[in-house]
Structure 1
Amino acid sequence: MAGARQRQRRARRQLSGQRRRAPQELRDAGECVQLERKGDVQCSNCDETHILVCSCDGKFYERWTTAPNKIFKPRLVKELGNHDIVQVACGDYHSMALSKGGNLFAWGLNTHGQLGVGSQDPHIPKPHLVKGLKGIPLAQIAAGGAHNVVVSLSGAVYSWGKNKFGQLGLGHTEDMDRPSYVGALEHWKAVFISCGADHTAVLSKDGLVYTFGAGGAGQLGHNSTRNELTPRVVAELWGARVSHVACGRQHTLVYVPSLDKVYSFGSYEGQLGSERKANQLIPLPIDLLVDNKKFCQEGTSQNVTETTAEGQESIIELFFKKRNSYPLNGIATLQRKEVKAWISNSSSQCCETIKKNIRLIFSSEACINGSFLDKRGKHFKTSKEISGVDMAEVLCFYKKIIKNAAVYQEVQKEIKNLLPSLSSSPISPENFRVYLILPFLLQQEDVSTCCTLKLLAQAILRLQQKDLQTLECLWSNLETDLFKNLIIIFKRVSLYSLIRLLDFAEQFPKEIEALEILQILYQVNLRAGCRLQDNDFYMPEMEQIVFLFSRMGREVTMLLKYPCIFDVNCKMLIHHLKCNALSLCFNICPSSIEVIQKEWIFPVRRECLLHDIWNHLRNAKNKQFTCFLRVEFVGEEGTGCGLRRELFSVAAKALCDPQSGVFRHFPSRLVWFPEQASSHDDTFLLAGTLFGMAMYNHCWTPFPFPKALFKKMQHVEPTLDDLEELIPAVGRSLKNILKEESEHKLESLQMTFVQMEEGGSVVELKKNGANILVTKHNRKEFVDLYVNYVLNESIRKPFEDFMQGFIRGCPAESWKIFLPVELQVLLLGHTDYDWQLLKKNATYMHYEESHQTIKNFWTVFYKLPEEKKKKFLAFLSGSDRIAPYGLEYFVFSIEDPFCQNPDNSYPSARTCNCTLLLPRYSSEEILEEKLLCAIEYSEGFGLM
């Protein structure tokens, strides 16, 4: 502590020595006079011992003095020579300067962190960038004795430095060495700020004045000498609509234009020309003659009319002009008249000026964030949900500059140079505007724009998770057309990135940035209630790209991270490729490498099918699940995929038989896991394994599971609609509870937060639930807990076992790319039957389509009832469900087996290749009889 005090004293002595040095030559005095000509802007601290001067020729000076009229030597601040300074502010021993490019610089004493650069050095003589405010479009800066406050274009206030009296407005008294957001002013957007030695005053856009910090001299105007740690409105000025505010060392002045009066409060000691000596605790008008001209009544404190009394500085001029560096110039932002000039001018001289202006704005994150503001006042509502950007203006600007190739290229060049430097940890919602604006300025379809968009995607992915969530929220609040356009933009650059990987045979990077953004946008769309359809995210080129990657022998696993871009057919292609790759083994011989597809020979007996399946699964090694099944029914002929489908179909029907007692059955004809499951029973582990094996072997199986299962498999929370699908009566009852308007009727039901299980036991849905009545106030919580219990909590153990088995049975992780509804169709098959497609896709062997037997067959088939048609499908393919890709892709063959005695033979089927062996018959009646007999005979195998 002692060492810190010594460093502070040394730093002050160093600065004091600088300001006491008197000029030695007349040349120095002349230089001082030159600085005080018309057009110069100067700012001083409360005692006018420290002055900053921006000369009309663009030079920036700093000077110290011990008396107002004493000759002194100004110091040219060479370090800021390349920056166009638009605002300056002086503290007691430190300085700040804001550049037109939106950068804030600070230098001088830093004993309280008042420079905001995060350094512990007590004195920094050269200007340093205040990085904590990078990207925030600042409207005004102000310096106190040893603290600083700034306000953004959208009214956000940030403070740092000394905080002994709460002058930072943060609710505590700890010094801050970096800018901190004054959250207490979030809903009272500021348009002007001023700092005293140890207090701060803020003017809101509604004309209210808030003060905080040291109040010992009454300078806060709260009729008290108490310090305030957070902003507090000056109640005496309520309703007066103040337009200007200025702080002295221990006093405050405000101007009320409607009354044409200046009010003051705080310590005087005669310095304002007043006879009063005592501290003034509340605002009272100053009894002085001031110029009759009024201040600007716009409430933005951007301009002040000058006094007409030459040589006499009025109270208004003294405190509102000199102390606050009027007029306030702002950072560079895009203006319509500038854009018009950019587009219309083509001379070389103008081109250089245009390039300079473009560079000034589009090389600055702050200037971009300060442009395109919603002028209807919405930018003052900027938050994590509202960007404050007028997107119509952004699109209008793009349409204009795209007409001039040179201008567009210059804008894009500056954006490209800026993107790598964007902050990864923004401190303000205003920082996020750049991420909304830039994609819509990069819509042109060319290679250069795609490269720039890749850099933008990288900048977005550098954001910390909490900041990325803010951007996602802003994305979700975009208009639907803009959101859709954003997806199109990133789809284009994603395609460009993938084609590069193909053309240049580059290795897959850890992530493809544009695809990563698309997947994030897809999740945003889901959370926003699916404003866009899934197919809006599909990239139709992906099927060909995946195929080309596989032809080149390149792994497509990387693409599984971005399932939103694939339609279901492309997903199935990826899944098949992945499973096929896992099932291959390489037999290396001296002369060649032989590629063999591994098979798992799976013999089972129909009379004890489940018993044999469970034995195989219990004794299997994990590597066996990477092999495709070759099912053999003991005592029967035939092999192929049809027998695999038959195995899964028959096993599923056996497991779902109510007599098996494995699953719970509901009137909806759906099954669900039991509430109670033995921890030693491996039934659900085995059932899940069987389910996973069906997925791996490209089979579908008729488990009558609800959609809730497939949501849970993909980590999507089931909803009340899912419960209603499983238990319709309960679902409707819960929906009625949510709709009930009568509190009395709800209470009369005497419902509590409990759930009755099948065995009669009562489960509390929350702690002490049996004693909590369901009311209109808590009914949503009750319904949510009820749904969660039935679909999650009550079946936790059997579902976890089921999923453990599924992952074992399907070692290819490509199943995760399917949406829940796609996974449901893929595993259960379709139940939408278009029998005309079945006929359309049929092929014939040893038959012509015009043969009478073929005509008779289709006549008989169309006469069958719907259930018989489904049973025929099971007889033919091994399952009464349609393949996931639909009947339009289902091909079966009708073949003449050339039987010796066709009248004595049934039609038969080879389920392995979906072939119907159809002997020649003489009439429809005989064919119908034989076909029905064949279907009924096959029912004995448990296919239907």
Structure 2
Amino acid sequence: MPRTEVGTRADLPHPSPLPSEAFLLFPKAVGYHPSLSKEDPGTIRQVSCKQGCLAIVKADRTVIVYGRAEDGGCQGSLKRIKLNKGAKVDLLDGEASHLLILSSEGKLSEHSIASRGVHSKPRLLKELGDKRIVQIACGDHHSLALSKGGELFAWGQNDYGQVAAGWEINLIKEPQLVQELEGIPLAKIAAGSAHSIALSVFGTVYSWGKNAFGQLGLGDTEDRCSPTIVKALEHEKTAFVSCGGEHTAVLSKDGLVCTFGDGSCGQLGHNSRRNELLPRLVAELFGARVSQVACGRSHTLVYIADLGEIYSFGSGAEGQLGEGEKCDRLIPLPIGRKFSRVGNTSEELIKIIAGENQSIVLLLKEKNSYTNLNRMIARVEEEKTDKWISNSDPNCWHTMKQDIKLIFSSAACINGSFVEKRAKHFRTSLEVAAVDMSAVLLFHEKISTKPKVFTVVINALKNLLQSVLYFPGSPEALRVFLIVPILLRREDSRSDHLLLQLAQAIWRCPQKEKQLLESLWANLEIAFFKDLVSIYQRLASAKLSSVIESTRCSEKTLQDVDFIWPLYVLRMLYELLSHAVNYFSVSFQSIRELTTFPFIFEMEVKVILFQAECCALRLMANSGMASELLVRRQHLVQDTWQCLRNANTDDQALRVLFVGEAGIDDGGPCQEFFTIISRELCAPAEQVFRHFEESHLIWFSHQVPAQKDIYFLIGKLFGKALYNLKIAPFPFPLALFKKMANIQPTLEDLKELSPVVGSMLQAVLDEDYEDVIENMMLDFTITEEHDGSIVDVELKENGANVPVTKYNRKEYVDAYVNYMFSTSVEKQFGDFVRGFKKGCPNETWKMFLPAELRVVLLGLTKYDWEQLEKNAKYHNYERSDETIEDFWAVFHALPEEKKKNFLSFLTGTDCIPAQGMERFTFTIADLGKEDPDLWYPVASTCYRVLYLPRYSNRDVLQNMLLVALENYEKFGLS
């Protein structure tokens, strides 16, 4: 059949307009209570028709429920519903078994349709607390409610996942939050028989629940138990959604209609009875601008205001498609009446409603009677802002304050604010954030001059950021990370604290959300991107300065400080635009950038930054979990290698447990472990390293050891020590750390490792006389021991036949140094570095200069015992106490080795951390023991606490301290 114009049949003439009829019901009001036909349309505020009943909200905000007669009866029931305490009804919707009734104060009540009594009262849903509800939707046996604060609640049957409560629970009796949609500003909710639909402000459609007919629009028939984006509608500018029993219709901003789901009665309008698994444009309506769409159980209505016509399609068995035949329609056709604005009055409005098997048309004369029913979540609006700023009516301040608090304590409300006014916001995606950043900046400038308003905003944001922010994988939920920094760009302590919390929230986002956020950042205008960088750069610099100052004065650990969060955000921003480094000054504090500029900071600052990055990696990887190393003291090396070979993760903190010993590793046992295993592996009997008697240093053996992976394991162990900021006192020369930094060792490094050989080579370089060099009888070979035999190794091709002369001696020395540090140990060093990088996944160790890295890993052996005394703190003691005076007198009288033993007793190592003795602090506390047999000093290696008994006898104290130090060497430190 050819189509002459949108959905119009050539053989069906338009009936004349009927402006006098303001309330039309299809089929006619047969079987209802007679009072229905006497209703004054002018007093009707809202109508809802579901499964055999019709509910009307009157202008006086009361509700009348008309039930249809059953079993051949001619008169249906009538029931009047009133809310408690005189509350007035604003909105209602019905299920098969009950009604949801929303009061003008935003309180939601349930009413059982089956309950008897003409004046029965509904039950207030107290479970929603003080939440103000703005929208409701009912399915057959489930309900949805949207709060003004942007929260979506669902409850009822969950057989198909329609309540978004997983598959384990079939019934949710009380409203519960749909967590997957937190942070997303919703504009409309709808419910079908057993499926649910939510539409965001940005036109994104989410669906979940039953999908047997494709009514979720996801391209399949699998049910969903959590909201899923209908990707086929992502760029369709969806402005409205409606659900039938098993089908769904969406209306775009441009007036186009798409339908999907059950098509058995033609309710999809595609001239077929086929189900549609994906949204499909209703072609018969193409060319017309549809202004309304409403879905009944198995039929659909659309209103085209420009034509003044209502079209219907789908099931017509009850006459719900309008005047005419009672058969199904497969395409949209007029209902048989034409509607137009009488006298061209803009105040006159048409409202279409589709119910179970009914269709209703309301001709409204009051603009506010139906247009304000679809209320939105709270958002920042220009008119509101002006009222907040002007505060012209002090009597309204309480209401304004509550509104501000509601908006800025809700991620959804913030995300729904400052929306691009152009249609651009309907395509929020990875490329478009749809945030009017200029409006955000203008709003900030307005409120920052009004302390009263600004304080309320700050307090509300504080409430928001103290909660765990959950953001689904949708860019529109992440707009808060673009908006809030601009609101907090003002420099004060309150704003800075909240920016830190916001940065921490970014840190904790899943990787998918981080990538989405980076995409939104990348598409910001340059001015706003630079502003974002400037905000976090200022914050990071201020916090870093504060942390450095505080850690210089105390032993505060980085787990107690929060400056790592803005550094992390800066690193994300830097990596995002690493190709445009001109945006950033040299003072940009990205941790990764520091590896490129290792000369910017002093070593102690680098230690702090390195530790911060380690904390960050652990948090991102496993939320602070630790990797346990279970070892026996008698078999320490063997157990360590077995654990390292079997380890699956290397980005966790290390915890060491000694078999048979009580206690939890909070740092002390771990340090003790590295001290002991370093000593054992460096013992000559282990034959792992080559020892140099003059320097007491070690180097890799030129011979391949029996355990092929030994140097890989040692490197991994060394890396773990750095990753956990523990001292591993392997007496390596500086050459090792130079090679790790890709710096070639020199003769000076050989002098450090082997002073005798180094001096000999220096003498060759310094010799002025040719004949003296010839008399040395040197050639380009080096004598080495291999497998018990002495062999000559050539330093260059045919080196045994190339004598060293005054002219090639520099080449000879360079070749000698290169052989010692590189050629002879190429595999050994390669295995070591590979293991080191495995044990220390934090690559920012590269920001340390070689000498700094050696100090960090090996510690310092320059002691200042007077400084140690100055740094001591006291608990339950005073510095002037006799016991303390005696202790320091005894300590300073100890031999140097015993003093170093004391450090080991106290911390697990006799080496000083890289920050030096000036930063080394410990606490002396009262032992609190009365039994003389328990009067021996006790040390907590985890917390650097020495517990001393109270004595008046200095000799006894000295003996007890010496016994304690001897026992530590015999029995260990834990």
**TM over 0.5, yes or no?**
yes
1:701 paired residue number:
none
**SS at structure 2 position matched to 1:96:** strand
2:305 paired residue number:
257
| Compared CA separation, residues 215 and 294, structure 1 to 2 (3 A) | farther
Q: Does 1:455 align with 2:501?
A: yes
| Compared CA separation, residues 180 and 550, structure 1 to 2 (3 A) | closer
1:157 paired residue number:
205
Deviations 1:416-455 (A, max 9, x none): 2112434444132110101111111111222222221111
Post-superposition offset of 1:415? 1.0
| Compared CA separation, residues 149 and 807, structure 1 to 2 (3 A) | closer
CA distance in 2 between counterparts of 1:111 and 1:120 reads 9
Counterpart pick for 1:521 among 543, 550, 573: 573
**SS at structure 1 position matched to 2:211:** coil
2:4 paired residue number:
none
Q: How high is the TM-score relative to the length of structure 2?
A: 0.54
Q: Does 1:43 align with 2:107?
A: no
1:334 paired residue number:
380
Q: Does 1:474 align with 2:520?
A: yes
Q: Does 1:344 align with 2:397?
A: no
Counterpart pick for 2:583 among 532, 537, 547: 532
Post-superposition offset of 1:176? 1.8
Give the aligned residue type for 2:269: G
Q: Does 1:402 align with 2:448?
A: yes
2:141 paired residue number:
93
1:380 paired residue number:
426
CA distance in 2 between counterparts of 1:110 and 1:464 reads 28
| Compared CA separation, residues 20 and 691, structure 1 to 2 (3 A) | farther
- Fraction of identical pairs, as percent: 41
CA distance in 1 between counterparts of 2:412 and 2:452 reads 24
Q: Does 1:77 align with 2:122?
A: no
Counterpart pick for 1:430 among 472, 476, 480: 476
2:287 paired residue number:
239
Post-superposition offset of 1:257? 2.2
Counterpart pick for 1:292 among 341, 348, 366: 341
- The answer to whether the 8 Å contact 1:420/1:459 transfers is no
Counterpart pick for 2:101 among 53, 71, 74: 53
- The answer to whether the 8 Å contact 1:101/1:332 transfers is yes
Whose strand proportion is higher, 1 or 2?
2
2:559 paired residue number:
509
2:458 paired residue number:
412
| Compared CA separation, residues 687 and 419, structure 1 to 2 (3 A) | farther
Deviations 1:574-612 (A, max 9, x none): xxxxxxxxxxx99xxxxxxxxxxxx99799xxxxxxxxx
1:316 paired residue number:
361
Alignment of 1:267-286 (within 5 A): 267-268=315-316, 269-286=318-335
Aligned Cα root-mean-square deviation (Å): 5.4
**SS at structure 1 position matched to 2:478:** helix
CA distance in 1 between counterparts of 2:141 and 2:483 reads 40
CA distance in 1 between counterparts of 2:272 and 2:523 reads 45
Give the aligned residue type for 2:192: G
- The answer to whether the 8 Å contact 1:689/1:806 transfers is no
CA distance in 1 between counterparts of 2:582 and 2:289 reads 43
CA distance in 1 between counterparts of 2:78 and 2:314 reads 37
- The answer to whether the 8 Å contact 2:215/2:277 transfers is yes
2:533 paired residue number:
487
**SS at structure 2 position matched to 1:149:** strand
| Compared CA separation, residues 234 and 556, structure 1 to 2 (3 A) | closer
Post-superposition offset of 1:266? 0.3
Give the aligned residue type for 2:326: K
Deviations 1:437-494 (A, max 9, x none): 1111111222222221111111111111111111112112222232222222222332
CA distance in 1 between counterparts of 2:79 and 2:525 reads 61
- The answer to whether the 8 Å contact 2:311/2:332 transfers is yes
Counterpart pick for 1:193 among 221, 241, 246: 241
Alignment of 1:655-666 (within 5 A): none
Deviations 1:304-356 (A, max 9, x none): 82689xxxx99432999999996311111001122222223287644433321
| Compared CA separation, residues 186 and 802, structure 1 to 2 (3 A) | farther
Query: Structure 1 unaligned runs (5+)?
Result: 1-11, 13-18, 23-27, 298-302, 564-584, 587-598, 604-612, 644-650, 652-657, 663-682, 694-797, 827-944
Give the aligned residue type for 2:425: H
| Compared CA separation, residues 803 and 389, structure 1 to 2 (3 A) | farther
Q: Does 1:170 align with 2:218?
A: yes
| Compared CA separation, residues 634 and 517, structure 1 to 2 (3 A) | same
Deviations 1:128-153 (A, max 9, x none): 22222111101111111121111100
1:362 paired residue number:
408
Give the aligned residue type for 1:509: Q
- The answer to whether the 8 Å contact 1:295/1:305 transfers is no
**SS at structure 2 position matched to 1:282:** strand
Deviations 1:536-595 (A, max 9, x none): 6248999999549479xx7664156699xxxxxxxxxxxxxxxxxxxxx99xxxxxxxxx
| Compared CA separation, residues 549 and 250, structure 1 to 2 (3 A) | same
Alignment of 1:757-906 (within 5 A): 817=844
CA distance in 1 between counterparts of 2:308 and 2:573 reads 54
2:662 paired residue number:
none
Q: Which moved more, 1:801-810 or 1:287-296?
A: 801-810
Counterpart pick for 2:349 among 305, 308, 311: 305
| Compared CA separation, residues 147 and 314, structure 1 to 2 (3 A) | closer
Post-superposition offset of 1:189? 2.3
| Compared CA separation, residues 330 and 436, structure 1 to 2 (3 A) | same
CA distance in 1 between counterparts of 2:832 and 2:227 reads 54
Deviations 1:387-408 (A, max 9, x none): 1111111111111111122322
CA distance in 2 between counterparts of 1:65 and 1:436 reads 47
Query: Structure 2 unaligned runs (5+)?
Result: 1-50, 52-64, 69-76, 353-357, 617-674, 677-689, 715-729, 736-748, 767-779, 781-794, 800-814, 853-974
1:625 paired residue number:
732
- The answer to whether the 8 Å contact 1:264/1:284 transfers is yes
- The answer to whether the 8 Å contact 1:617/1:686 transfers is no
- The answer to whether the 8 Å contact 2:106/2:134 transfers is no
**SS at structure 2 position matched to 1:535:** coil
CA distance in 1 between counterparts of 2:441 and 2:309 reads 45
CA distance in 1 between counterparts of 2:280 and 2:118 reads 40
Give the aligned residue type for 1:316: V
Give the aligned residue type for 1:389: V
| Compared CA separation, residues 335 and 275, structure 1 to 2 (3 A) | same
| Compared CA separation, residues 476 and 802, structure 1 to 2 (3 A) | farther
Give the aligned residue type for 1:124: I
- The answer to whether the 8 Å contact 1:458/1:513 transfers is yes
| Compared CA separation, residues 346 and 692, structure 1 to 2 (3 A) | farther
Give the aligned residue type for 1:376: R
Deviations 1:220-273 (A, max 9, x none): 001111111111111111121211111111100111222221111101121354
**SS at structure 1 position matched to 2:336:** coil
Counterpart pick for 1:442 among 488, 491, 494: 488
Post-superposition offset of 1:809? 11
Give the aligned residue type for 2:134: V
CA distance in 2 between counterparts of 1:239 and 1:115 reads 37
| Compared CA separation, residues 319 and 138, structure 1 to 2 (3 A) | farther
Give the aligned residue type for 2:611: M
Count of residue pairs brought into register by the alignment: 614
CA distance in 1 between counterparts of 2:380 and 2:218 reads 33
- The answer to whether the 8 Å contact 2:242/2:293 transfers is yes
- The answer to whether the 8 Å contact 1:113/1:120 transfers is no
